[in-house]
């Protein structure tokens, strides 16, 4: 779905929320919104405020202050959790062990006073969506971890919430299963055209699944945008580090023109990259971020820096190298068969579009 369409009709609007637990400020003036059918991911490390945000949306936590909190256009600030049109899927599934699979899924409908026969019919339909129709009459204890998580999902979507909140739902699964479930979740979300708000600490998970990512840090939003924005255009040192940039070198901005920045690094080398903080002024402190696999030892690259090979580790499909430069060590990853693999290194380079320069302090 196009961003303009999503923004035209927000399913979720949170404006200027502050939440304090005693002296701890868990959310500090955070605003976000999600459109109909949007997959929004809140990404951040432990303690950044992700869970608090979900709890405020779902009504499990009454925020210290909030200027607007709406779900599908309805003001829900002060409304009890059970009345809000949103449901949460938790990491620990929170299923009833004494009920069958289909009874677990039907439960949410029964407490909403849907007649039992209708509730069971709807529950079977929801189970079919997560490929569990055949196991509808089993006991929860007879299911694997992945299957339990699918039951939890079916139970959440059967009530047709306007917004589905997912609190690290794949955190308890092993890596292989997690990858499969990521794809299933994306498919389910598209099929239902439902708004998902997903929280995770995994940048890889956020990049794989989301239409939009909100990166949180210490109760504030550090950066938000489409996955590629965060991956290729981190706007701060923190965002670059969180998104897995192996090299972040500090210096001073000496020139900026047409979206390209030139930065003087320690040791005097001047290097270029794409400037993501366009209002930055020459003379200000700035950094350049480079991914190890976007660097090569080909002298013809658009820009670069002199350096010599310090260490080299073969890692099967690729080789990780550390290049010593006047600005400090730079990590480079060379895929097997690349021309640099067996040659000596005296200069490394990159494309301007592959390097990111941001002024310290961010946008």
Ligand X SMILES: Nc1ncnc2c1ncn2[C@@H]1O[C@H](COP(=O)(O)OP(=O)(O)OP(=O)(O)O)[C@@H](O)[C@H]1O
Would you give the distance in Å from CA 6 to the centre of its chain?
18
Q: For residues 50 and 272, which CB has a smaller minimum distance to ligand X in the complex? A: 50
The two three-digit tokens of residue 147, written as one number: 């299957």
The nearer residue to ligand X, 47 or 145, going by C-beta atoms, is 47
Q: Report how far residue 38's alpha carbon sits from residue 212's, in angstroms, rounded to the nearest whole number.
A: 8
What is the total residue count of the chain? 363
Among 30, 37, 43, 48, binds ligand X (CB under 6 A): 48
Contact 274, 260 (CB under 8 A): yes
Q: Does 52 bind ligand X (CB under 6 A)?
A: yes
Long-range contacts for 336-340 (Cβ within 8 Å, ≥24 apart)?
338/296, 339/297, 339/298, 340/296, 340/297, 340/298
Would you say 23 or 337 has its CB closer to ligand X?
A: 23
Q: Which residue has the tokens 């389910």?
A: 188
Neighbours of 48 (CB within 10 A): 24
Distance CA 227, CA 197 (A): 15
Number of residues that bind ligand X (CB under 6 A): 12
Near ligand X by CB under 6 A: residue from 6, 32, 39, 50: 50
Q: Does 26 bind ligand X (CB under 6 A)?
A: yes
* The two three-digit tokens of residue 98, written as one number: 């004494």
Q: How far apart are CA 102 and CA 135, in angstroms?
A: 8
Q: Among residues 6, 32, 35, 51, which is the contact residue for ligand X, using CB under 6 A?
A: 51
**29 scored as a contact of ligand X (CB under 6 A):** no
Our CB check for ligand X shows the closer of 21 and 335 to be 21
Query: Does 24 contact ligand X by CB under 6 A?
Result: yes
Q: Cα–Cα distance between 244 and 111 in angstroms, integer?
A: 45
Which residues, 200 to 229, sit near ligand X by CB under 6 A?
201
Choose one: 4-12, 47-55, 242-250, 284-292; the region binding ligand X (CB under 6 A): 47-55
- Which residue lies nearer to ligand X by CB, 19 or 233? 19
Nearer to ligand X, 48 or 236 (CB): 48
Q: Exactly one of 10, 35, 44, 161 binds ligand X (CB under 6 A); which one?
A: 44
Examine residue 247 and tell whether it contacts ligand X (CB under 6 A): no
Stretch that binds ligand X, among 20-28, 286-294, 332-340, 355-363 (CB under 6 A): 20-28
Our finding on whether 60 is near ligand X (CB under 6 A) is no
Choices 19-27, 113-121, 171-179, 304-312 (CB under 6 A): range interacting with ligand X: 19-27
SS3 56: helix
> Which of 31, 47, 79, 351 is in the footprint of ligand X by CB under 6 A?
47
Q: How does DSSP assign 17-55, residue by residue?
A: EEEEETTEEEEEEEEEEEETT-EEEEE--TTSSHHHHHH
Contact track, ligand X, 150-189, x by CB under 6 A:
----------------------------------------
Angle at 286 between CA 283 and CA 288, to 5 degrees: 135
- Applying CB under 6 A, the residues found at the interface with ligand X are 21, 24, 26, 44, 46-52, 201
């Amino acid at each position: 779905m196009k961003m303009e369409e999503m923004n035209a009709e927000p399913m979720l609007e949170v404006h200027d929320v502050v939440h304090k637990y005693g002296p701890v400020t868990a959310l500090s003036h955070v605003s976000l919104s999600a459109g109909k059918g949007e997959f929004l991911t809140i990404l951040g490390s432990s303690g950044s405020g992700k869970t608090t945000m979900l709890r405020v949306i779902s009504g499990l936590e009454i925020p210290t202050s909030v200027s607007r909190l709406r779900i599908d256009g309805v003001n829900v600030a002060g409304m009890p959790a059970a009345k809000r049109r949103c449901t949460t899927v938790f990491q620990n599934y929170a299923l009833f062990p004494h009920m069958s699979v289909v009874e677990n899924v039907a439960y949410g409908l029964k407490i909403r006073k849907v007649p039992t026969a209708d509730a069971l019919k709807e529950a079977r339909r929801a189970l079919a969506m997560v490929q569990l129709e055949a196991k509808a009459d089993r006991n929860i204890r007879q299911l694997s971890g992945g299957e339990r998580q699918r039951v939890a999902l079916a139970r959440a979507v059967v009530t047709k919430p306007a917004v589905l909140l997912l609190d690290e739902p794949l955190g308890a699964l092993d890596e292989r299963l997690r990858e499969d479930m990521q794809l299933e979740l994306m498919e389910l979300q598209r099929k239902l055209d439902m708004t998902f708000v997903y929280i995770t600490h995994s940048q890889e998970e956020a990049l794989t699944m989301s239409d939009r990512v909100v990166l949180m840090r210490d109760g504030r939003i550090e950066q938000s945008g489409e996955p590629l924005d965060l991956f290729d255009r981190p706007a701060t040192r923190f965002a670059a580090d969180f998104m897995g940039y192996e090299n972040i070198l500090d210096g001073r901005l000496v020139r900026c023109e047409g979206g390209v920045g030139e930065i003087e690094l320690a040791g005097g080398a001047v290097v270029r990259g794409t400037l993501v903080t366009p209002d930055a002024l020459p003379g200000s402190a700035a950094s350049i971020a480079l991914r190890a696999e976007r660097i090569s030892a080909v002298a013809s690259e658009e820009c670069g820096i002199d350096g010599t090979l310090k260490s080299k580790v073969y890692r099967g499909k690729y080789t990780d190298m550390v290049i010593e430069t006047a600005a400090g060590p730079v990590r480079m990853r060379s895929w097997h068969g690349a021309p640099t693999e067996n040659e000596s290194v005296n200069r490394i380079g990159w494309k301007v579009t592959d390097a990111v320069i941001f002024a310290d302090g961010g946008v």
